Amino acid sequence: MIGGLFIYNHKGEVLISRVYRDDIGRNAVDAFRVNVIHARQQVRSPVTNIARTSFFHIKRSNIWLAAVTKQNVNAAMVFEFLYKMCDVMTAYFGKISEENIKNNFVLIYELLDEILDFGYPQNSETGALKTFITQQGIKGQHQTKEEQSQITSQVTGQIGWRREGIKYRRNELFLDVLESVNLLMSPQGQVLSAHVSGRVVMKSYLSGMPECKFGMNDKIVIDKQGKGGTTDDPGKSELGGSGKQSIAIDDCTFHQCVRLSKFDSERSISFIPPDGEYELMRYRTTKDIILPFRVIPLVREVGRTKLEVKVVIKSNFKPSLLAQKIEVRIPTPLNTSGVQVICMKGKAKYKASENAIVWKIKRMAGMKESQISAEIELLPTNDKKKWARPPISMNFEVPFAPSGLKVRYLKVFESKLNYSDHDVIKWVRYIGRSGIYETRC
């Protein structure tokens, strides 16, 4: 199990050091600093073995978090724990920075004592932790016995992510379907790989212990229902279950509140949500993805000292919708001496420090086309190595889900309190963003 946990600043000074196991000595702190933080070479692996001691590290801005062990631990668990620890810290004091960590070191030690026992991760849901560990010192002195046992049963209980007795005057929930669409396209316009990784983020402000059920246009569910319908009403099922209406989900993962065995057997998503914001599910699709933009590059080398670049982008969605924050990044060779750009729309600039032409367009409607052309002057070099031609990348945001996912319903049942599904105010929003959206040139 995890033998110790260290947090360093960018210089390698220790900010937090907590040792859980006897086999980890004080010298481990220095070993990591010398061999990893101060290493001359760039780090080649997130797991480092130094003198039979293994170090796992992640970085958040310029802060290093390292877990150390001498045993054959579950490596995936260690990293998951490190991420979780960052989440917990962020939930308590915001951004993970040297200053924040120094300001809250007592709190961090307290948290580390609670969420890691003898190197075994314990309940680390902020919802539960905040009931008994706070920045204003510890509650507990003035609690009644009932309150205390409520805390402990929540921390150890089946529904560790939600406390009882939550009340809202207005029951409200927000669903955000956030997708990032990833593309790798060949210069000839052939899709080399494309996938959407999506997240359904929920903000719930619901009273009591509501039982929720979430439904989307998952092909498997729709087909199942479609089959049921065929016997009575063939016409209707055709409408409901046709290809465009439903999407094939390659895989999905859920927040721990979702009953996985129920999803496995019935493919229904039911859960008691945590209070506030959390990520309900993640999913991945690869079929029938709407690629919001197409990039058509044309690069021509004119002699040894000049490049001509022309890039056309085409928007490929309903004309009534508007894409935002469009940015096309066209890499330029390292020996570029000057660039002249002409673009029909938006603004384009050559950024020498980034070795790229950055073309920004604020808004663009669907089914439109725009173009940029640039002449790049090159310095003559005797470098034999050819320019690697990194791909042209794109950023954008569109108000729909490129995977085609639709939320069908989110039902709320709370039997003990007197509000029904109809009383809950629900909001749904779809945002599609570019992930790694690249076209080779």
Cβ distance to another protein smaller for residue 132 or 396: 132
Find the shortest distance in angstroms from Cβ 315 to another protein: 24
362 is in an annotated binding site: yes
Find the shortest distance in angstroms from Cβ 389 to another protein: 7
213 is in an annotated binding site: no
Q: CA-CA distances (angstroms) from residue 382 to 303, 305, 430?
A: 14, 12, 51
Cβ distance to another protein smaller for residue 285 or 315: 285
How many residues does the structure list for the chain?
441
Please state the separation of Cα 421 from the chain's center in Å: 30
Place of tokens 């590290």: 57
Q: Which residues contact 20 (CB under 8 A, 6 or more apart)?
A: 1, 2, 3, 4, 5, 116, 117, 118, 119
Find the shortest distance in angstroms from Cβ 155 to another protein: 6
Sign of the alpha-carbon dihedral angle for 58, 64, 65, 68 = positive
Cβ distance to another protein smaller for residue 364 or 401: 401
Q: Report the alpha-carbon distance of residue 213 to residue 199 in Å, rounded.
A: 17
Cβ distance to another protein smaller for residue 181 or 343: 181
351 is in an annotated binding site: yes
Residue 197 identity: S
Check: CB of residue 379 under 8 Å from CB of residue 338. Answer: no
Find the shortest distance in angstroms from Cβ 281 to another protein: 8
Find the shortest distance in angstroms from Cβ 427 to another protein: 23
416 is in an annotated binding site: no
**7, 9, 14, 20 alpha-carbon torsion, rounded to 10°:** 10
Token pair in block for residue 248: 């094939």
224 is in an annotated binding site: no
Cβ distance to another protein smaller for residue 238 or 266: 266
Instruction: Extract the annotated binding site.
Output: 347, 349, 351, 360, 362
